[in-house]
């Protein structure tokens, strides 16, 4: 579901970007076609670059840059517009199990869609490969021009255009129109006998048109868009974009040929003759001369429509939109950046210490562990450094971020303080001990993440308050039992049975005796899920939300503790 949401968000963002690019081309309709071509090309490339990549860059910049002053309203508005298909931040988790058949169909749907996409992509690639092979075969069978008026005209135009590397030109027996084949080493092919059908002026106009394609690297741009069409073949907009790219690239070459001094009537006549005797190039990445709406092109050539350069106002508009497209997602990433402490903060500063402490590695390989506190002392056996950090900093397992060995390597610890010291007083002592013996350095971060919020049900909680006293709880597969539990303790216990952390947001004070029974996920057919049981038996429910959560990040820790 998350992957589908990300795909839909990317398609929406790319579509919106293309719409904005289209509006810009309308604003630039009296300007040069080359500028509109670049706008359409940017809209095409956007399909290959998800905004989430720029958001990630902005989020990483947040680690080193100063924390930005975020405007909450603006931030959430930007997020809503850019990610309309993201998972809702708040929704009630239903406890009713879906029918098995529907569940199986839902699990197969992503695979089916992937197969359909793959078949469509393969069909597009095969279709283009067949056309590419047709052109490639014709070019390989062509004979190079060694001399004559064609080669002389081409070399003269190369000098005028400032092209230092000479372009290879070949004569093909196929009926394909003149065109450019190749990207890194383009080859100009001309159908055999074309020089007899065109005058010198017409031949030079055709050659100038093809050299313009080479200078502009139109074959490369067309290939990039062909990749977009292969990946997003199901999106009609990408095919419409392809037509706009061909249209504007041909207009741009027409404008360049006329700027070089070709007579409009001669140039229009040359295009009509090519169209009369030869076939249009079957590949958009093998640029020819008769692409796009030829009738409209001839009208524009004959009316000598003059395209103007961008004035300052339009340059400013295009620059502002380009900066917004790049800076906007980065700004969102900066706003999402974790609010972290810039430098690791060792836990040794002015912390109280134990009167006596022993730390030894435990290599027994036993799976059981023990951690006891009381009477001002800690007695633990076969516990991991992660467990010690959890207790010392009063956090849950999922709030500790560090290397894997924090959980795999075990230790025995005996530490003593005055018998009157409480657990709250022992915690900073254990922090100091870990910093001293393990050279532990940590820092805290607050991140937005998905959580379950424990809230009262629609009809209110079904709880009976009891007198305060020592809390006791136990849990087994499909059951939770507790005496004198607070809502915060219940939330902590529920966290061990669901897939996300549970935060207490009930606002309910006091302690209660709790009895909760449910059927585990694989046995839902034989009983209620934990979500349904919570509503029916306790009058509480879990809502999935995004909320701030603090994490303890381990910056450094030694595997082997220092000697006692």
Asked if residues 275 and 290 have their Cβ atoms less than 8 Å apart, the reply is yes
pLDDT for 358 equals: 92
pLDDT for 312 equals: 74
Asked if residues 354 and 439 have their Cβ atoms less than 8 Å apart, the reply is no
Distances (CA, A) of 519 to 129, 527, 528, 530: 55, 5, 6, 7
Structure tokens at 71: 């405007």
d(CA 257, CA 370) in angstroms, rounded, equals 85
208: left (phi over 0), alpha (psi -120 to 50) or beta: alpha
Q: What is the DSSP letter of 260?
A: T
The residue assigned the tokens 């309910």 is: 508
Structure tokens at 183: 């990207």
Structure tokens at 540: 């509480």
Output phi, psi for 289, to 5 deg.
Answer: -125, -15
- Model confidence over 310-369: pLDDT tens digits? 777 777 877 777 777 666 666 655 555 554 444 444 444 457 888 889 999 998 888 888
d(CA 403, CA 558) in angstroms, rounded, equals 11
Intervals of the chain under pLDDT 50: 63-78, 87-100, 103, 339-349
Residue 361: which H helix or E strand, with range? Answer: strand 356-362
Asked if residues 225 and 48 have their Cβ atoms less than 8 Å apart, the reply is no
Asked if residues 534 and 541 have their Cβ atoms less than 8 Å apart, the reply is yes
Concatenated DSSP letters of 51-108? HHHHHHHHHHHHHHSPPP---HHHHHHHHHHH-TTSPPS-EEPP-SPPPHHHHHHHHH
Asked if residues 503 and 396 have their Cβ atoms less than 8 Å apart, the reply is no
Tell me which residue of 132, 237, 136 sits closest to 189, measured CA to CA. 136
Asked if residues 213 and 253 have their Cβ atoms less than 8 Å apart, the reply is yes
Q: Which residues pair with 424 in a beta bridge?
A: none
* Domains of the chain in sequence order: 2-96+311-336 (no CATH), 119-293 (3.30.2010.10), 340-442+560-564 (no CATH)
Concatenated DSSP letters of 194-218? HHHHS-HHHHHHHHHHHHHHHHHTH
pLDDT for 63 equals: 46
């Amino acid at each position: 579901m998350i992957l589908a949401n990300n795909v839909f968000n990317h398609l929406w963002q790319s579509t919106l970007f293309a719409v904005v690019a289209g509006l810009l081309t309308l604003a630039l309709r009296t300007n040069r076609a080359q500028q509109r071509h670049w706008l359409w090309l940017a809209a095409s490339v956007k399909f290959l670059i998800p905004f989430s990549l720029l958001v990630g860059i902005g989020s990483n910049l947040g680690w080193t840059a100063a924390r930005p002053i975020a405007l909450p309203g603006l931030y959430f508005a930007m997020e809503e517009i850019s990610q309309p298909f993201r998972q809702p931040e708040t929704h009630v988790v239903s406890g009713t199990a879906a029918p098995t058949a529907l569940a199986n169909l839902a699990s197969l749907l992503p695979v089916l869609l992937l197969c359909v996409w793959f078949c469509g992509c393969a069909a597009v690639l095969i279709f283009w490969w067949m056309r590419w092979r047709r052109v490639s075969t014709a070019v390989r069978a062509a004979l190079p021009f060694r001399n004559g008026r064609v080669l002389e005209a081409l070399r003269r135009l190369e000098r005028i255009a400032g092209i230092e590397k000479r372009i290879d030109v070949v004569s093909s027996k196929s009926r394909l129109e003149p065109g450019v084949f190749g990207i890194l080493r383009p080859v100009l092919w001309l159908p055999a006998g074309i020089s007899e059908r065109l005058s010198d002026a017409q031949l030079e106009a055709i050659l100038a048109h093809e050299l313009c394609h080479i200078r502009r690297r139109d074959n490369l741009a067309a290939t990039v868009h062909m990749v977009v069409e292969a990946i997003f073949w199901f999106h009609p907009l990408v095919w419409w974009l392809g037509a706009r790219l061909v249209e504007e690239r041909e207009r741009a070459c027409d404008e360049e040929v006329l700027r070089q001094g070709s007579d409009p009537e001669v140039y229009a006549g040359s295009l009509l003759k090519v169209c009369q005797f030869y076939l249009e190039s079957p590949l958009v990445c093998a640029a020819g001369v008769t692409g796009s709406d030829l009738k409209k092109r001839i009208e524009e050539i004959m009316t000598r429509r003059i395209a103007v350069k961008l004035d300052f106002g339009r340059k400013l508009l295009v620059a502002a939109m380009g900066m917004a497209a790049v800076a906007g997602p980065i700004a969102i990433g900066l706003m999402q950046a974790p609010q972290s402490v810039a430098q690791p903060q060792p836990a040794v500063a002015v912390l109280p210490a134990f009167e006596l402490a022993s730390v030894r590695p435990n290599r027994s390989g036993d799976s059981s562990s023990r951690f006891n506190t009381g009477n001002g002392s800690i007695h633990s056996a076969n516990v991991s450094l992660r467990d010690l950090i959890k207790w010392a900093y009063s956090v849950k397992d999922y709030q500790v971020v560090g290397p894997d060995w924090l959980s795999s390597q075990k230790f025995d610890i005996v530490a003593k303080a005055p018998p009157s010291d409480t657990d709250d007083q022992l915690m900073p002592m254990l922090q100091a001990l870990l910093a001293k013996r393990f050279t532990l350095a940590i820092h805290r971060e607050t991140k937005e993440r998905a959580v379950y919020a424990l809230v009262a049900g629609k009809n209110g909680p079904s709880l009976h308050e009891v007198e305060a006293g020592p809390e006791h709880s136990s849990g087994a597969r499909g059951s939770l039992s507790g005496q004198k539990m607070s809502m915060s303790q219940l939330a902590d216990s529920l966290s061990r049975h669901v897939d996300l952390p549970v935060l207490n947001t009930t606002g309910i004070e006091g302690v209660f005796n709790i009895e909760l029974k449910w059927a585990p996920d694989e046995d839902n057919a034989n009983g209620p899920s934990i979500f349904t049981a919570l509503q029916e038996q306790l009058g509480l429910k879990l809502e999935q939300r995004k909320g701030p959560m603090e994490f303890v990040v381990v910056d450094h820790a030694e595997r082997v503790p220092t000697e006692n």
